[in-house]
Amino acid sequence: MNHIIYLTILSPVISFLLLTVFKKTFSYKINHAFGISGLILSLLSTIYTYKIFIQKNLLENFNYPVLTIFDFNLNSYNLFNGLFLDQFSLSMLMLITIIGTLVYTYSISYMEFKKNKFSFFAYINFFISGMILLILSNNLLLMYIGWEVVGLFSFLLIGFYNSKIENGINSIKTFLITRTSDIFLLFSILITHYIFGTLNFELIKIKSIHFHNWSIISSFNLYILSFCLLIGSIGKSAQVPLHIWLSKAMVGPTPVSALIHAATMVTAGVYLIIRTHILLCLCPKTLEIISIIGVVTLILSSFCALFEKDIKKILAYSTISQLGYMFLSLGIQAWNAAFLHLINHAFFKALLFLSAGSLINLNNGEKNIFKLGSIKKKPLLLYVFFLIGSSSLVSFPIITSGFYSKELILYALLNQQHTLFLLLGFSSIFLTSLYTFRMFFILFHSNQSINLYKKRMTLIHDLPLLILAICSTVIGYLIICNVTQFYYTTNIFDNKKSILEIVSSIFCIFGILCAYFLWGSNNIFSKKLLSSTLVSNFKKLFYTQIGLEKIYTYILVKPFFFITSKLRYDPISIICTFPVKILKKTNNLFLQISSGYIRWYIFLIMTSTTYLLYIHNFLCTTYL
């Protein structure tokens, strides 16, 4: 088993190399065989590893070393650069390889007529391998390498349609914002090594047990460390105030959006917090901040989605909102609830993005939901898939997977008596139902007579959507619980739980009914309400994310351009070029002296000799 894990990471890397080197040499089918085989091998090796874990009954072990790449010794410190599997990382590994394989399979159909498609598939493979490295790392340093690989290839994938200047600008914005948070993660790595003398997660866990015997200075350093970890995670997981990049990332191909939102980039921040939870538990104030950030993000992104008209941006805001739920759960130390919601969210969000991608492709790249809704004929399968994904997103009771994981988070809030957070959680359920089914009704029910037709079945296109749809229902939830060993452990006869489920179901259904009344029923009152001044003002406010991007422009971008304009001829360049200018002046002087006349040279020799004799005489009379 120790060696099979090599395939999980290296097979996508090998596929990346084959596609990069031989994309113009081999045929279309062979290149796709290169690309998909790497991900399938990675998935199979993950399944095999999981089987061995079950047989040896190892799932209760939180840290199980699988492979050590190398040991790096520096002044007697061992950085333990290696890989390991545990219950948590194995579940994440299964998620990434399954979603990655399904998205790649779907992309074969989606990218068929796009330019440079094999570069796209090569990037996908390395992107996934970077995420696998991130989750299998047993120390912060190796995790950071995977973290940066994910960041780099997300930049390449988001900016894949680089023929438009706007796409390039948005991909650069995304890259710069996420790099800002990455700097804080790097600081946290340095501080961790300074405090603990190691970067290994297991050794940090052991040493943190004796935290109460530490000095005040060490406690202060620990809070600085937790703050840096927090900034690193909210940047990657698009939480307030570093959330604005995720909507900008929608300029990339839709399968990239599905991959980033479902199982890779944005989940990295949640994974980082869970993996380093032992440090954050020592800093209660940081955990409170995490909860506050989560709930603020939850509400703000819901309002932004409510007034958005781009289908991909609506789904992006819904991702930010669901990540807000996860951060809220992490802040109250409900680790299992956050992780289970992460897994459920991955499946229904991938389903929604891929379904949206199919709608966009069928309508020549149109993303405006009002223009998409004006098209009468809609594929029946896409209607069903979109309905299942939307229902799971709004946590429709009993039949969807999203219902159970979201209930776990709300139940944790109830048990810990976080009343305000619980009320805001209920409000978010209503808002999520409202903006999700606003999108659904505009897309599929904006015309009085809906005309669904059976699209020609394409296995490569429809099979990934079908699998994701099943995983987004209660059937998928039961399978996920069985695989990950995270169970819905609350007592089914618990009155508090039953009341909680009823209340959340009421909020969900009420939101759907309001969405139907406002956007699905086509009545006069709803039209007047939506065109009112109050709604227009709210639209202006939340359509621009309450002006956060403008604030960043005034605070950061404009001062930067001002400083660079003033430093166009900066002092450092002047100092560096000063010796060169002196040499040039001296050279020009010697060129003027070299006139070519012998009498001039004799005069210079005599003058120089007289001057030297005078100096010699002066020195002799003075010092001898």
Q: Number of helices and strands (H, E) in the chain?
A: 28, 6
Q: Tell me the C-alpha distance between 84 and 551, whole Å.
A: 43
The larger pLDDT score, comparing residue 374 to residue 442, is at 442
pTM, two decimals, is: 0.84
Among 82-91, 137-146, 368-377, name the one with the lowest average pLDDT.
368-377
- Checking if the pLDDT of 489 tops 70, the result is no
Predicted local distance difference test score (pLDDT) of residue 70: 44
In Å, what is the CA distance from 411 to each residue of 229, 273, 329, 332, 503?
27, 21, 10, 11, 12
The Cα–Cα gap between 153 and 558 comes to 28
Q: Could you give the percent of the chain with pLDDT greater than 70?
A: 86
Query: Model confidence over 28-52: pLDDT tens digits?
Result: 778 888 888 889 999 999 888 888 8
Residue 243 pLDDT greater than 60, yes or no: yes
Report whether pLDDT(68) > 60: no
Give me the pLDDT at residue 420, please. Answer: 93
pLDDT given at position 498? 84
Of 286, 296, 167, the residue nearest 241 (C-alpha): 296
- Encode pLDDT of 344-355 as tens digits: 999 999 999 999
Please check the confidence at residue 484 and state whether its pLDDT lies above 90: no
CA 360 – CA 253 distance, rounded (Å): 11
DSSP, residue by residue, 143-176: HHHHHHHHHHHHHHHHT--TTSHHHHHHHHHHHH
Q: Give yes or no for residue 186 having a pLDDT over 70.
A: yes
Q: Which helix (H) or strand (E) holds 195?
A: helix 165-196
Residue 210: is its pLDDT beyond 60? yes
Percent of the chain that is helix, strand, coil (3-state, to 5) = 75, 5, 20
Residue of 268, 260, 248, 261 lying closest to 173 (CA atoms): 248
In the predicted structure, residue 197 carries a pLDDT above the cut 60: yes
Which pLDDT band, with edges at 50, 70 and 90, does 379 fall under?
A: confident
Mean pLDDT of 602-620: 80
pLDDT of residue 298: 92
Residue 44: alpha-carbon gap to chain centroid: 25
Q: What is the mean predicted confidence (pLDDT) over 449-456?
A: 55
